[in-house]
A = this chain, B = another copy of it.
Amino acid sequence: MIIVMQQHASDAEISAVVDEIRKAGLQEHVSRGSELVIIGAIGDEDRINPGHFEIMAGVERVTRVTKQYKIVSRDSHPQGSVIKVRGIPIGGEQIQVISGPCSIETQDQMNVAADAVAAAGCRMMRGGAFKPRTSPYAFQGLGVEGLEYFQRAAERHKLPIVTELMDVRMLDTFMEYDVDVIQIGARNMQNFDLLKEVGRVNKPIILKRGLSATVNEWLMAAEYIAAGGNHNIIFCERGIRTFETAYRNVLDVTAIPVLKRETHLPVIVDPSHAGGKAWMVPALAQAAVAAGADGLLVEMHPNPCDAWCDADQALTPDELKSLMVTLGAIAKAVGRSI
């Protein structure tokens, strides 16, 4: 940890800081500059609390130097991790496009959707049984009944299923219904009790980025899951909140190369929620793959006009099919396949 002292900090103030560092079992390293004094605390940073130093007399500011995330850090695992979902690799040379409707509506809708997902060449399917809605009066999802429809429809094509978990109390049900990949939504990225629970199960977790979560907070949220023992974590960038009002969110493509550098875990992108409009999805999906994403989460509905939610952001089966063709060419351009 680095402690920058204020200009004119007294020797007494400096030695008080040094004492605190020693008390914590670390070693101090004092640099007296032309204008100010800088004190380095050498040793296990996790044993000292920056806050304690920030309020000491004469301290200008305190900065950590080591990262707080350990298990998810690339330092702990220099080569990238490949997560297998029923044999399908996420994080390797092959890019995975996970598609399906925003919400599960009927058995029939899910069957047609599953056919379209498979027909487009996607290997995994998404669908929401429990929906986080801004309004308590909006459709909240079919719940368990939806999971049944989903399982039945996906099995016809042996498609592993991805669905969102919102409530810790539903985790057992998810295990029962053998959900293949559990998604933690943006609004729950820092629902720490939920993170701890999914850290105890042996299922891959897609961790969506919070609407205004920094990359560091996101990595720390993953660390919560990893600390519980579950290292099968997939980051999903889904657009961040900014000042711009012309579109729902801003897809943060920069987060892709940055995360790939910081963590060994796979990074996928949800272009559907990022843009909020179906017509934006192809451009955003293409950008994500070109920037190095390991996969995509794309909303597709057999008949968008009849969708029970987010009707305006779902692709049609045909749009998904042609998007897959373009994505294949881009993947090839960046040395990967789809």
A: which residues have CB within 8 A of B?
2, 4, 7, 29, 31-36, 38, 40, 42-44, 46, 49-52, 54-56, 63, 65-66, 68, 75, 132-137, 166-169, 187-188, 190-193, 195-196, 211-212, 214-217, 220, 223-224, 227, 239-247, 249-258, 261, 274-275, 277-280, 283-284, 286-292, 304-305, 307-313, 326, 329-330, 332-334
Known A135-B223, A244-B240, A251-B254; contact A283-B292, beta-carbon cutoff 8 A: yes
Whether B68 contacts A135 by the Cβ 8 Å rule is yes
Contact of A242 among B2, B46, B243, B274 (CB under 8 A): B243
In the assembled complex, the CB of A115 is this many whole angstroms from the nearest CB of chain B, namely: 22
List 4 tightest A-B contacts by C-beta distance, closest first. A329-B333, A212-B212, A290-B290, A51-B311
Known A36-B65, A52-B305, A246-B258; contact A330-B334, beta-carbon cutoff 8 A: yes
In the assembled complex, the CB of A312 is this many whole angstroms from the nearest CB of chain B, namely: 4
Of listed A287, A304, A307, A310, residue having the most chain B CB within 10 A: A287
In the assembled complex, the CB of A336 is this many whole angstroms from the nearest CB of chain B, namely: 12
Whether A290 contacts B286 by the Cβ 8 Å rule is yes
- 8 CB contacts below 8 A, A to B, read A31-B31, A55-B311, A134-B190, A134-B217, A212-B241, A251-B254, A257-B279, A257-B284
Contact of A40 among B33, B43, B133, B275 (CB under 8 A): B33
Whether A214 contacts B246 by the Cβ 8 Å rule is yes
Name A2's closest neighbour in chain B (CB-CB).
Answer: B2
Whether A220 contacts B66 by the Cβ 8 Å rule is no
Whether A215 contacts B246 by the Cβ 8 Å rule is yes
The complex places the Cα of A4 from the Cα of B40 at a distance, in Å, of 11
Whether A51 contacts B307 by the Cβ 8 Å rule is yes
Whether A311 contacts B40 by the Cβ 8 Å rule is no
The complex places the Cα of A68 from the Cα of B49 at a distance, in Å, of 28
Known A29-B31, A167-B193; contact A247-B254, beta-carbon cutoff 8 A: yes
The complex places the Cα of A54 from the Cα of B312 at a distance, in Å, of 6
The complex places the Cα of A326 from the Cα of B333 at a distance, in Å, of 6
Complex contacts, A274 vs chain B, CB 8 Å: 254
